[in-house]
Amino acid sequence: MHHIIAKAAWLCIIASLCLGFSVNAGAADSAWDAFVPPPDDKFDWIQLSSGEWLKGEFKVFYDYQVEFDSDELGLLTFDLDDVKRIRTHKAQSVRIEDAALSDEPIIVEGIVTIIDNKVIMTVGDGTREFKRSQLVSIAPSDKKEPDLWSGNIALGVNFREGNTDTVDANLRANAQRRTSSSRLVLDYVGNYSEDDSRETSNNHRLGAYRDSFVSKKFFWRQFSASYYRDRFKNIDDQVSLFTGLGYHIIRTAKTEWDVTAGVGARYTKFNSVEPGQSSDHTSPAFGAGTRYDTELTSWMDFLVDYSFQIVDKEAGTYTHNFITTLSNDLIGDIDLDISFVWDRIEDPQPDSEGTVPEQDDYQLIVGLSYDF
């Protein structure tokens, strides 16, 4: 009997201690949930969905992702779904979609406070409130020009010596200028190969386009320009210029899928042509394309970028450019990229000796890339 009473007493003590610990833990959690850093005029703050607060500088919100430069952790990128609060200490340029005010997104400038699903803009002595779902983009209104740019550069090189000396090199670069209402994108791809000191490939493709956002789904591709050179395809210089429209099929924190279409013209200067043929040719053109970019895991991204152009027969009839990349995080801002590239010209132009270049070119590229 005494043993039973003793055990019961010990159980009551243990239960009381556990209950007290649970109450104290709950109180501590509630205290942390209620904690908000005091106002200051030097730093921006964000709170993650886990409850953690970070101090530093808010960079940009674009494509459902927040870039934040932490004092201790460096430049960080978060999905908007993983950010609970944002508080800036200086004015931002915020693009809002509000059908009640305008058919097109509007831009509001002011200090930003995001709390859960509310976006509060402090403009002078007043405030304006919107829903988080209405956000299109945020960028500091006083940003310096270099701060508007980001991009990456990738290099792949292969040297082989022995019975055959070969060199294969590939360089890819991308740069983007992003504001709350537009984006400017520059792309470059170059390839060079040499076999026993004999050049076997040497081609370069440079592209640029500028988009102006009309709404959350539609954008106007004000111009799309490209330059291409590949003497092994009998192309000395080729310049294309387009304008058109684009549509976001999917635009979430992890996945973006766009389609575009437009009209324009293409100028081609051939390296050599058959007797009686002109080495210069200009053709009207129709172009379309799609770009799909998704985050497969926290450390792996997958990209597909495809475009085609319809031109007259002298310019090739149909041309295709396809690239798919699997990008894997390595260390810091350095990634391991594996890319497959396909280029096709339906009707290549014969050279002065009547030789017709191959229609298709394929490349498998493995290289390291650096994000900046």
CB 290 within 8 A of CB 309: no
* Closest by CA position to 141, among listed 183, 102, 181: 181
CA–CA gap between residue 256 and residue 303 (Å, rounded): 10
**Residue 106 burial (CB count, 10 A):** 15
pLDDT of residue 17: 46
| For residues 335-360, average pLDDT | 92
* Closest by CA position to 353, among listed 281, 271, 283, 285: 271
51 residue type, one letter: G
| For residues 362-369, average pLDDT | 88
CA–CA gap between residue 131 and residue 116 (Å, rounded): 9
CA–CA gap between residue 266 and residue 241 (Å, rounded): 7
**Paired sense of beta strands 166-178 and 300-310, if any:** unpaired
pLDDT, one tens digit per residue, over 257-307 is 999 999 999 999 999 998 888 899 999 999 999 999 998 988 899 999 999
Which residue in this structure is represented by tokens 């919100």?
Answer: 61
pTM greater than 0.85: no
pLDDT of residue 289: 96
CA–CA gap between residue 224 and residue 246 (Å, rounded): 12
Torsion of CA 246, 211, 110, 58, to 10 degrees: 100
Q: How confident is the model at residue 19 (pLDDT cuts 50, 70, 90)?
A: very low
**% of the chain with per-residue pLDDT over 90:** 44
> With 60 as the cut, is the pLDDT of residue 172 above it?
yes
CA angle (290 as vertex; 335, 322 as ends), nearest 5: 60
